[in-house]
Structure 1
């Protein structure tokens, strides 16, 4: 795990210290070392969190002839298989580090096939020094971030959005469409960021830019081309295959040369991960957080699972004092505004877990791929029986393509879908996820931006509309918005703030694609949600855990906003700050809501985070530049 950054200088204002500042700003992501490489106008750098071959994994890595140079943020779980393949083709390796396979794999399979060979979470930079091209890759589901800006003076990229602001010429102008999206979702989805001048590379994409030319970067989708299951399956076979694939994913993500643990909430998803891990590691370490409100606390179930598995369990209590103790830290380490209160317990848990381990496995992705959320519709083809998978298999490829392919053509919308916009008139997303504001409120809150629609939302809405099954429409909407915009960034930001690596076994492509390929009725039916996952691990876990409804990190944020966070919230809206938000309008909405008990606590917390985060980013930038100037004197 690392952080990567780079700059292509195109003339204009000189910035000799820029890469150094960008790399140094990622020290929490990589406290164990630093690497840099330069070739003419191109500079790349990284910070390293040493997980695999800690003594010999310094980056960058190059091919023998020096043509291809690579740096990695993330992990390549199948690097041993790739290493054996490449060694058979004559490659000689010098270390056991997973990143060393990258330049050789790129040379062997080329820019399009190369990422499809990787099982991992990653942001990767590859320099082709002969063709003078810089390539950036992001993993299939968006576990590791990649941000970039393309200006006249320079092209720049980094694993952190905040690192991009350290350019002396950085423009803090707010992307007002992105702000509207934030005020609807509490995060910014798609390729936009909150800043007009910075974009996010979307999951499963490659960006290529020539460093001797001035044309815009080329962005392509490398993740298309899913394979449908090899043969029709009966439900019992699907249950066994699910168990095998999850076990294999957990086993591959346990590989490390440092201690590994599990974030264990007591819900089904993390309990399955813990159960599979316990079969590979004796006395696996597990970590849970509890809440002072017994109605919100899952820690009893976490303890029961840990005891059942013989795990070495660590429990931490989360109360109002703990919330306030990490709130300022959260504003400083959040790499983009995410108005999700669950960031706070994840940060607390990450800091505590880091005292014991350097890697944790988590349950992200299970709900999206196995249909676990309570707001998801029931399966429209819930009656599909064992023979039904033969028919279902015929449309697996098209479903997977609809879920992940970009740049969809203007295909005919299905009458079943009836989705004309991602931002629906009933104030929810196509998955049923409730929005924070209505269009009229967003018009008043964000002057100068009168529409939510953009190319990302229109393309996704068109894709969703062609899916006949209601459950699969909801899954697709969340995989391409909620998973990539909230869950995975939250995990990345909060774990990296503690120099802790988070790994998500459910995002193994063999697990995720297999789950998507199943009939909806095998995931959701009258017996409950995530049916096939529950049946796959029946007998591995205590029965009360298998039968529980999903709870998640539900915090008493409404109570906190009416108490000690109230003053902070109102102070943050006391004046205009030039960040795109009409503070006076926001303050009126907040005061009206507080008067009736803060029923819109999600919106209020989102506004608090946005104003505090924007202020923290500007102050952090000023400190970083001042420190860098002091070093030069």
Structure 2
């Protein structure tokens, strides 16, 4: 795992030495991603520069250093990621006469390009990757990102120059960097807690979309093409009539999962599993232990607050699997020290608050291992989100009622503060008392005047309603023009939302969070549940098998129950939540008040000081829980101060 950066300057203004210097300044910002070796390769005549920061995982020798040139000298690559079937591809290449200098997957990858071309090779790859490939014969630069978007890649076009990098901070070091905040992206950030791709917070700067290749040729507009698309996978499945039983499904899926995990255990450095105690990470830990000859290291984060503490469940699972288990209980000191650093780790405004435990558990695990496996992606692939179910239920209940009565019901619900709603339920026994029922009722209140289940879902995943945005100027949010096509392709609401999450929320929130958290301290994180073979297989299945009798993640639970007792996995779903509401009234209050200082907000170009002060006062009163809204503002402010 590594960091890559570089550029193609058609104006060829810089000398060889100048290009070396620029590239060095770019990759220096990515040392946290790859502390083991720095490499730079330039072609002054073409204005091409490739930079690389290496985190050595497979083949720790100099034979794996990058940028790497193919044996026929045609291709040069700067690559970030892991190819899990590199051994099999390498054997194919040996049969046709290729001799390797080492056993790094980079060498296998570049020799595969030499023999099969980029598109032929991509079809064969199982893995996560982002790379820049220079074709010296065609004078073409090709940028590529893996099918699911596990590894990041950003690109920008300034004048005659194309810049690219694993993180935006590297792009900023190029002398042609010239960008300002994109107002539409800022609005999107406050809606979703992240900036949806392909946009970034900056104008002229783009996230490469998953499964795409960008080709940059001299004096031509960069061309973008898809080499893999979940939409195309679904379309091709529509033309097939798959006949498969529940038992056959479970057997085939178990084989795929086992193979996916076993492939991701290959490493020349210590390896462990991030174990949350949920179904997804427990299954990964179970299969990892099954394929390991010794107790595998597992890592869990815990909280002193019982409502958020999943560590006891993780410990029971670890004890049953007999792993070498390690626990980290977060202290206020940990949180206070980390929070001001988040904006530099995440590079863009990013406000998924589980970034805090994700970053701290990564740092904790790094003391013992250099590679971790996690259960990320299980909710998207195996229909695990509660909101898929509740959006449908809310629409079925309220969609039959005229809009005027619905608006009245919503007004009544929202007129009662969440803490007052909570008090109504205190009469119930603690075990029967719904957790954070006041906040949940307010969420429902904001959705019931919607015109469709899709609109309800959009509101459930949004931090702010459009009218409540804390920005001075609200830009119209661009609607996805492909949405109508997806609605035709996937008339079933749950499948449609699963698709939307997989293509948007997964790469732009979940995988961004995990990549930046782990790579900020040089920990490579692998996600076995997002093997493209597993995704393609699950989308072949009818919904009745993927979600038997409405049960979420039923396939994973059945497979997991073969190795872990049902009593350890049959419990209500719990997200990676943190006691942020209490922290903002306690350990983080001083930092937050400093960030939301009236004087600093008064002159802010973007934020509405009056709205923000109201939110803060309401939150401090404990009658309202505005943790998500305030965290988004705080993360933007923190990021803005570092620009």
> Which category describes the TM-score, using the shorter chain as reference length?
0.7 to 0.9
Deviation at 1:364, TM superposition (A): 0.6
Over the aligned positions, Cα root-mean-square deviation in angstroms equals: 2.4
Q: Is the 8 A contact 1:371 1:524 kept in 2?
A: yes
Asked if 1:257 corresponds to 2:268, the answer is yes
Structure 2 residue aligned with 1:158: 165
Deviation at 1:341, TM superposition (A): 1.2
Rounded to whole Å, the distance in 2 between the matches of 1:543 and 1:276 is: 16
Structure 1 stretch 47-56 or stretch 6-15: which is displaced more?
6-15
Deviation at 1:4, TM superposition (A): 0.6
Please state whether the residue corresponding to 1:134 is helix, strand or coil.
strand
Structure 1 stretch 501-510 or stretch 540-549: which is displaced more?
540-549
Structure 2 residue aligned with 1:37: 41
Structure 2 residue aligned with 1:392: none
Rounded to whole Å, the distance in 2 between the matches of 1:375 and 1:450 is: 27
Alignment of 1:452-531 (within 5 A): 452-453=477-478, 457-460=480-483, 462-464=485-487, 466-526=489-549, 528-531=551-554
Please state whether the residue corresponding to 2:197 is helix, strand or coil.
coil
Rounded to whole Å, the distance in 1 between the matches of 2:88 and 2:583 is: 50
Deviation at 1:576, TM superposition (A): 5.3
Residue 3 and residue 554 in structure 1: after superposition, are their counterparts in 2 closer, same or farther (change >3 A)?
same
Structure 2 residue aligned with 1:550: 573
Residue 374 and residue 112 in structure 1: after superposition, are their counterparts in 2 closer, same or farther (change >3 A)?
same
Please state whether the residue corresponding to 1:295 is helix, strand or coil.
helix
Q: Is the 8 A contact 2:585 2:620 kept in 1?
A: no
Alignment of 1:323-362 (within 5 A): 323-362=335-374
Structure 1 stretch 334-343 or stretch 488-497: which is displaced more?
334-343
Rounded to whole Å, the distance in 2 between the matches of 1:244 and 1:528 is: 22
Asked if 1:268 corresponds to 2:279, the answer is yes
Structure 1 stretch 544-553 or stretch 312-321: which is displaced more?
544-553
Structure 1 stretch 103-112 or stretch 470-479: which is displaced more?
103-112
Asked if 1:450 corresponds to 2:455, the answer is no
Structure 2 residue aligned with 1:218: 223
Please state whether the residue corresponding to 2:482 is helix, strand or coil.
helix
Structure 1 residue aligned with 2:205: 198
Residue 585 and residue 473 in structure 1: after superposition, are their counterparts in 2 closer, same or farther (change >3 A)?
farther
Deviation at 1:521, TM superposition (A): 2.3
Given the two structures, how large is their TM-score scaled by the length of structure 2? 0.84
Structure 2 residue aligned with 1:125: 132
Rounded to whole Å, the distance in 2 between the matches of 1:426 and 1:581 is: 32
Structure 1 residue aligned with 2:619: 594
Task: Give ranges in structure 1 of 5+ residues lacking alignment.
Answer: 381-422, 619-633
Deviation at 1:465, TM superposition (A): 5.0
Rounded to whole Å, the distance in 1 between the matches of 2:288 and 2:265 is: 8
Deviation at 1:438, TM superposition (A): 1.6
Larger relative helix fraction: 2
Please state whether the residue corresponding to 1:517 is helix, strand or coil.
coil
Please state whether the residue corresponding to 1:582 is helix, strand or coil.
coil
Please state whether the residue corresponding to 2:258 is helix, strand or coil.
helix
Deviation at 1:108, TM superposition (A): 2.3
Q: Is the 8 A contact 1:149 1:157 kept in 2?
A: yes
Please state whether the residue corresponding to 2:539 is helix, strand or coil.
helix
Deviation at 1:612, TM superposition (A): 0.3
Asked if 1:28 corresponds to 2:32, the answer is yes
Residue 585 and residue 168 in structure 1: after superposition, are their counterparts in 2 closer, same or farther (change >3 A)?
farther
Structure 1 residue aligned with 2:185: 178
Alignment of 1:545-584 (within 5 A): 545-573=568-596, 574=598, 575=600, 581-584=606-609
Rounded to whole Å, the distance in 1 between the matches of 2:255 and 2:202 is: 43
CA shift digits 1:101-152 (9 cap, x unpaired): 2222222222333222111100011110011000011001110000011111
Rounded to whole Å, the distance in 2 between the matches of 1:26 and 1:586 is: 37
Task: Give ranges in structure 2 of 5+ residues lacking alignment.
Answer: 393-449
Deviation at 1:560, TM superposition (A): 1.5
Q: Is the 8 A contact 1:162 1:336 kept in 2?
A: no
State the structure with more CA Rg: 2
Given the two structures, how large is their TM-score scaled by the length of structure 1? 0.85
Asked if 1:440 corresponds to 2:457, the answer is no
Rounded to whole Å, the distance in 1 between the matches of 2:551 and 2:626 is: 29
Deviation at 1:522, TM superposition (A): 2.0
Q: Is the 8 A contact 1:243 1:537 kept in 2?
A: no
Structure 1 residue aligned with 2:9: 9
Structure 2 residue aligned with 1:534: 557
Residue 37 and residue 280 in structure 1: after superposition, are their counterparts in 2 closer, same or farther (change >3 A)?
same
Deviation at 1:93, TM superposition (A): 1.2
Aligned length: 569
Structure 1 stretch 33-42 or stretch 593-602: which is displaced more?
593-602
Residue 111 and residue 527 in structure 1: after superposition, are their counterparts in 2 closer, same or farther (change >3 A)?
closer
Structure 1 residue aligned with 2:426: none
Q: Is the 8 A contact 1:174 1:579 kept in 2?
A: no
Q: Is the 8 A contact 1:360 1:500 kept in 2?
A: yes
Structure 1 stretch 332-341 or stretch 487-496: which is displaced more?
332-341
2:319 to 294, 300, 307: 307
Deviation at 1:471, TM superposition (A): 1.3
Deviation at 1:13, TM superposition (A): 7.1
Q: Is the 8 A contact 1:181 1:187 kept in 2?
A: yes
Q: Is the 8 A contact 1:70 1:102 kept in 2?
A: no
2:639 to 613, 628, 632: 613
Rounded to whole Å, the distance in 2 between the matches of 1:292 and 1:465 is: 48
